Amino acid sequence: MKSGAGLHVGHPLGYTATDILARFKRMQGFNVLHPMGWDAFGLPAEQYAIDTGTHPKITTLRNISRFRSQLKSLGFSYDWDREISTTEPDYYKWTQWIFLQLLKRGLAYQAEVPVNWCPALGTVLANEEVIDGVSERGGHPVIRKPMRQWMLRITAYADRLLEDLDDLDWPESIKEMQRNWIGRSEGAELDFVVINGNSQEEEKRITVYTTRPDTIFGATYLVLAPEHPFLSSLVSEAQSKHVEEYREHAFRKSDLERTELQKEKTGVFTGCYAKNPANGQAVPIWVADYVLGSYGTGAIMAVPAHDTRDFEFAMKYTIPISWVVRPDDSNCGNFEKPYSGEGSMINSSYSESGLDINGLPSKEAASRVVQWLEKSGNGKKKVNYKLRDWLFARQRYWGEPIPVIFLDDTGEGIPVPETELPLTLPELDDFTPTGTGEPPLAKADSWVITKDPLSEKPARRETNTMPQWAGSCWYYLRFMDPKNSSALVDKAQEQYWGPVDVYVGGAEHAVLHLLYARFWHKPVQMLSTLQLIQMNQGFLLVLYDIDAVSTKEPFKCVINQGIILGEVQYTACKDDEGNLISADSVDELAEYKQERIPEEKVMKSGDLFVLKDNPNIRLIARAHKMSKSRGNVINPDDVVLEYGADSLRLYEMFMGPLRDSKTWNTSGIDGVHRFLARSWRLVVGSASPTGSYLDGTVTVDEKPSIEQLRSLHRCIDKVTEEIEGTRFNTGISAMMEFINAAYKWDKLPRSIIEAFVLLLSPYAPHMAEELWSRLGHSNSLAYEPFPKADTAYLKESTVVLPVQINGKTRGTIQVEETCTEEEAFRLASFDTKLSKFLDGKSIRKRIYVQGKILNIVIDMPKKAKVAQQ
């Protein structure tokens, strides 16, 4: 949570969806856990506090109060008795406890690693928090800097995190994002012996990882990452200055910038060579930033003939290229461009090494090379992962203190005893970053300086804090048992409520909260009734393994909501002289000035938007993500004040499928607002001239007709199906159709209207409760049984009934097979074609054969007789 401005209309989208599900399931007899909490540690809250000069604790409490009041105004049926905040000591006591369990099991450790250091924010950022070389929050420059950091060994669970995805009811796109993030690959590690200036082999070996061991004969150079630990010892004296300058430049780039496929490849020759173990050739060793020290071994064998990136690099620096794979399709390879596919091996034999794979298919050749590597001692088969261990420290104040102390004499890290948890944050007046990498907590001398509780030796506390994701990785568990002071969660409570039945959140959580939550959970397991969470998650694997939870996975079903974009904004292009020019004549928008055009000056022309005063000027129409800087934020309080909370809830669900992104249009609320108004007037009656309504309703205690029952049960069936499938917009459409049908009825049976009000209640609870009270009920409808569709009324059992007037067929009507004579005659009387034969006529008798025919005999006027003289 960042500022006191509160929610914008995009936030309630997921909250409304889970509330509809919660109310629906509650009415179906389920015990529903639908809580709300506040993930309030981390950069956003702290940065806002720094910018405003207010302590983050004060701004956090103020913002929580603001958000809570907004959520309550929207009628979300949260269990507020279970409300939690990650910033409260009685909560983060258990976050610290989980960390200690990880530490005991070797899953938390310290290492010197290159990190994303943001001087402006004064902290280390995760890779996911760096976009195009700047911080995601604030857009500040980020550099690479080696620092000693706490890490969590998430890589130890890589295979389980992958395998367990198969059993989850999650969007396939999210599962694929996690698979790609984990990035499992099979290949080989092989050693290249370093050669000195006299072409003599040294003891040093450079180990590389490759997924294509079959191409080993095509390796014509090696590339080391700028942060490779051997680099400094390999560089020749002549190249030392060039390499050092290159490294410094590389460290100012993010991993994303370094590995961007479109960027020009750069590198520097180290002045050193290594021996290719397959063919004995000396290959040059280069340093290049497109190789990352965090992936594989931080070194690659470059095969320019069969890798586009290596080919571009080799062409730029005139490095030899050797083709070793012939495509099976002769049209695919011309030995002028790199070929990365499979085929048959060529130029791949060397008698002195004993390796000959010429003529073999690529896959068989790869297997043969691995066997040779292991037999000759030059390498081994290897499974690798893109997934890196989780960097678990921030040089900030507003976060959970890490419960570790370091002895002054030895530097040994000692865990704080569990009996001393929570280790609370000290009060600091100056919580701004130091800018040196030293965390703000280092300023709290009286807190930092301590003693080891066992040996009483002098010690210092860890001054880094946990990252923003720590508290949000497990709070779905705390919701199950929020007041427990002796355990993270009671086992009986966890087994009753877990795992989470429905998780609704944005796709941006795919490789952060969701993956971290799964990791923490794996070492903890459980059973279920029903639990709905609208939040972020983290560590389930770990908790499963230490028997803190009973299920392997935290979330049974994940639903990704789309985002609500701001209202469409219109802009016109201007040339250097300030003249308006049409957007369709502009090649590069960035070359022209742009001016916002008010909506009242815009008109639509076909599929395009143009200026009203000059239709030749085509405008740019675009919707953007809501943000203060764009001025397109819509405050839900304003919408509620004008239209009411139920209209806002309904509109957000009616805009389109939950999973799609939508564009906000305030005028679009009018449609659902009119629907609610029509529903109200149908049940209550029209307003008096003064605008007031009579007490009660206009319903009658009469038996409903077949037609009314069919309309109701079709609506029940559709609304039930659409809520179950989270297709809320089409559920609303079904209720609108019902209201249209009901307005044609002469009378409104109470039983029909009561059922409709219950259908409406998950979507529009405020109005539904008022109507329920007017229908004579003293208790809330929240726990009333949700209506069930009777299949007998869903069947298509209508027939076309011929209608005769005095024995001559004059038309047909659509009736139920079981339609009574009275109902058939009523329908005929209202039929446009038939009514002209019946209006004002005297009916002598009716002849009705059910489902076959209706014959109406009417008195015909007598003809006058005129006598002739």
| The pLDDT of residue 348 | 97
**What's the sign of the alpha-carbon dihedral 421, 422, 428, 430?**
positive
Asked if 278 contacts 324 with a C-beta cutoff of 8 angstroms, the reply is no
Mean pLDDT (the chain) is 89
| The pLDDT of residue 19 | 98
- Widest CA span of the chain, in angstroms? 150
| The pLDDT of residue 864 | 52
Distance, in Å, from the CA atom of 858 to the CA atom of 806, rounded to the nearest integer, reads 6
Average pLDDT over residues 21-27: 98
Average pLDDT over residues 94-105: 94
Per-residue pLDDT at 475 exceeds 60: yes
| The pLDDT of residue 569 | 87
Looking up tokens 């059992």 gives 797
Average pLDDT over residues 767-772: 98
How does strand 808-816 pair with strand 798-805?
antiparallel
Q: Which of 387, 440, 393, 386 is nearest to 126 (CA)?
A: 393
Reported as a pLDDT band with limits 50, 70 and 90, residue 303 is very high
In angstroms, the Cα distances linking 783 to 23, 146, 267, 684, 778 are 8, 58, 68, 23, 13
**In a 3-state reduction of DSSP, which class is residue 511?**
coil
| The pLDDT of residue 746 | 93
Asked if 162 contacts 553 with a C-beta cutoff of 8 angstroms, the reply is no
Asked if 434 contacts 440 with a C-beta cutoff of 8 angstroms, the reply is yes
How does strand 84-85 pair with strand 37-38?
parallel
Asked if 82 contacts 484 with a C-beta cutoff of 8 angstroms, the reply is no
Looking up tokens 């006058």 gives 864
| The pLDDT of residue 530 | 41
How does strand 123-125 pair with strand 108-118?
antiparallel
What is the share, in percent, of the chain residues with pLDDT greater than 70?
93
Distance, in Å, from the CA atom of 20 to the CA atom of 473, rounded to the nearest integer, reads 25
| The pLDDT of residue 334 | 61
More confident residue, 224 or 265: 224
Asked if 646 contacts 75 with a C-beta cutoff of 8 angstroms, the reply is yes
Looking up tokens 């509109």 gives 651
| The pLDDT of residue 531 | 43
Per-residue pLDDT at 264 exceeds 50: yes
Per-residue pLDDT at 219 exceeds 90: yes
Tell me the helices (H) and strands (E) count for the chain, helix number first.
25, 38
What is the four-CA torsion angle of 135, 136, 140, 146, rounded to 10 degrees? Answer: -10
| The pLDDT of residue 626 | 81
Per-residue pLDDT at 1 exceeds 70: no
Per-residue pLDDT at 436 exceeds 90: no
Whether residue 422 is preceded by a cis peptide bond, meaning omega within 30 degrees of 0, is yes
Average pLDDT over residues 299-309: 95
Asked if 637 contacts 70 with a C-beta cutoff of 8 angstroms, the reply is yes
Reported as a pLDDT band with limits 50, 70 and 90, residue 533 is very low
Bridge-partner residues for 845, per DSSP? Answer: 857
DSSP character at residue 668? G
Q: Which residues have a Cβ under 8 Å from the Cβ of 262 and sit 6 or more positions away?
A: none
Per-residue pLDDT at 249 exceeds 90: no
Reported as a pLDDT band with limits 50, 70 and 90, residue 250 is confident
Per-residue pLDDT at 126 exceeds 70: no
Containing 707, the helix (H) or strand (E) segment is: helix 706-724
| The pLDDT of residue 347 | 96
**What's the sign of the alpha-carbon dihedral 587, 590, 591, 594?**
positive
Using alpha carbons only, give the angle 609, 610, 616 rounded to the nearest 5 degrees: 140
Give the range among 53-57, 478-482, 795-799 with minimum mean pLDDT. Answer: 795-799
Asked if 494 contacts 484 with a C-beta cutoff of 8 angstroms, the reply is no
Reported as a pLDDT band with limits 50, 70 and 90, residue 354 is very high
SS (H, E, C) 565-602: ECCCEEEEEECCCCCEECHHHCCCHHHCEEEEECHHHE
| The pLDDT of residue 127 | 67
| The pLDDT of residue 537 | 35
Per-residue pLDDT at 861 exceeds 80: no
| The pLDDT of residue 816 | 81
Per-residue pLDDT at 698 exceeds 90: yes
Reported as a pLDDT band with limits 50, 70 and 90, residue 538 is very low
Bridge-partner residues for 27, per DSSP? Answer: none
Reported as a pLDDT band with limits 50, 70 and 90, residue 532 is very low
Per-residue pLDDT at 206 exceeds 80: yes
Reported as a pLDDT band with limits 50, 70 and 90, residue 330 is low
| The pLDDT of residue 722 | 98
In angstroms, the Cα distances linking 90 to 133, 200, 487, 488, 547 are 38, 64, 11, 10, 22
Choose from 134-138, 230-234, 838-842 the range with maximum mean pLDDT: 230-234
Per-residue pLDDT at 435 exceeds 80: no
**In a 3-state reduction of DSSP, which class is residue 401?**
strand
Q: Which residues have a Cβ under 8 Å from the Cβ of 713 and sit 6 or more positions away?
A: 789, 790, 793, 794
Average pLDDT over residues 475-491: 95
Looking up tokens 């109902």 gives 823
* DSSP H stretches of helix in 480-576: 491-497, 513-521, 540-545
Distance, in Å, from the CA atom of 833 to the CA atom of 823, rounded to the nearest integer, reads 17
pLDDT in tens, 776-793: 999 999 999 999 999 988
